[in-house]
Amino acid sequence: MIRRLRLKVVAVCMLLVTAILGGIVTALYFSARSNIQDSSERLLHRLIVSDPRIGPGSSTIVVGRSEVQLPFFTVELWNGSTAYVTGGTYSDLENTDTLADILSQCLSQETDMGTIPAYNLRYLRLDNGFFERIAFVDVSMEIAALQGMLRASVQVGALALLILLGISCLLAWWVTRPVERAWDQQHQFLSDASHELKTPLTVILSNAELMTSVPLDGRPARWADNIRSEAQRMKSLVEEMLTLARADNMVRTSVFSAVSLSDAATDCALLFEPVAFEAGKPLRYDSIAPELTVSGDADKLRQVVSILLDNAIKYGAEGAPVELTLTRADRHARLCVSNQGTPIPPEQLSHLFERFYRADASRGEKSGFGLGLPIAQTIAAEHKGALRAESDAESTRFILTLPLLRK
């Protein structure tokens, strides 16, 4: 599908570019032809009203910024049969079969101005009553100039189309990269979601079959507890998926107000302090700056802090402390949750905020769905903030920055 989309992008770009170039070349061609034709027609009018013995210097026209002298000759026709060449740049033309043929083709046309293609001539006729004066101008230069311009335009246009084809291919690849990533993420999301839902469904179905296979009084309560537990797990997964789906559709489900990030961080720290103590990873939160206020949803901001604390406690090294700090950084609040342990490799660090992604088993516990960090990043973006991860030999840090509310 992505390949077809890229081909369509290239095809549309090339059609548009070809149409534009074709329109430009056509407009230039007809404009140049009209200008040269107007110049030669003005020359004919100048020749036919001037002295019959006009000299060759008067046959000059301006083409672009250059003056060009066109070959010409004038003829006076008496009684429709006797012709005299009265001037021009042609020699040995009088009383020739060529002149007779030119006059025959000219007189056979009903218009006073026209062309004789066989001789590359343009003519203008003027009836003076007793005789008819006819002026002829050679249009070979006009034809050659237009043909040369057309050839050059076609060559330049073809080269431009080849260059633009390469550019269009690069642009098509660049434009469809986000679509390709989204398509791959969608496939991965469906695969991972199906895998996550398969396990609780299997447990529920197995326990349900066991409950129906024994008498009502003998059905163990633990089977019902298993069903309830796995159903709750499925509910949590669906709720997290819905949260991400709303974020993808840019649907805001909450109203922002002034929120004390300092209080939210303290509340979450107090909530997770017993959890960290039971896990043998003491929680330190004595570096929380007071009175840092942001605009946002208090529940969602607490959810972000809770996700980061839960993640740090799960994957921190045994006996190593987890630290929560909140400081002011210029016009932003900077919240950092860090834990000690095995550094996350750079190739894994860039994937931590992908949905359903979980690092390898060397980092410890792998419970959960792998949706916590993506949800935290989504909430941070919704609050016009940013969430990033850093990891080195000293610690692994998740840093949340949010714009402070201006007073």
- Residue 364 phi, psi (nearest 5): 110, -135
Find the range with the poorest average confidence among 110-124, 249-263, 375-389. Answer: 249-263
CA distance 357 to 44: 83
Q: What is the mean pLDDT of residues 211-225?
A: 61
- SS3 per residue for the chain: CHHHHHHHHHHHHHHHHHHHHHHHHHHHHHHHHHHHHHHHHHHHHHHHHCCCCCCHHHCEEEECCEEEECCEEEEEEECCCEEEEEEECCCCCCCCHHHHHHHHHHHCCCCCEEEEHHHCEEEEEEECCCEEEEEEEECHHHHHHHHHHHHHHHHHHHHHHHHHHHHHHHHHHHHHHHHHHHHHHHHHHHHHHHHHHHHHHHHHHHHHHHHHCCCHHHCCHHHHHHHHHHHHHHHHHHHHHHHHHHHHCCCCCCCCEEEEHHHHHHHHHHHHHHHHHHCCCCEEEEEECCCCEEEECHHHHHHHHHHHHHHHHHHCCCCCCEEEEEEEECCEEEEEEEECCCCCCHHHHCCCCCCCCCCCHHHCCCCCCCCHHHHHHHHHHHCCCEEEEEECCCCEEEEEEEEECCC
CA distance 138 to 39: 12
Question: Other C-beta atoms within 10 Å of 265: how many?
Answer: 27
Q: What is the mean pLDDT of residues 352-367?
A: 58
CA distance 313 to 282: 9
* Residue-level pLDDT at 367: 53
251-261 pLDDT, tens per residue?
455 678 899 99
Question: Other C-beta atoms within 10 Å of 317: how many?
Answer: 17
User: Domain segments of the chain: what residues?
Assistant: 2-146, 257-403
138-172 pLDDT, tens per residue?
888 888 888 888 888 889 888 988 898 888 888 88
* Residue-level pLDDT at 146: 85
Single-letter amino acid code for the residue at 300: K
87-96 pLDDT, tens per residue?
777 777 777 8
Q: Residue 203: is its pLDDT beyond 80?
A: no
CA distance 259 to 381: 16
Q: What is the CA radius of gyration of the chain?
A: 43
Q: What is the mean pLDDT of residues 43-65?
A: 58
125-141 pLDDT, tens per residue?
888 878 888 889 888 88
- Between 403 and 371, the higher pLDDT residue: 403
Query: 257-403: what CATH class?
Result: alpha beta
- Between 361 and 305, the higher pLDDT residue: 305
pTM: 0.49
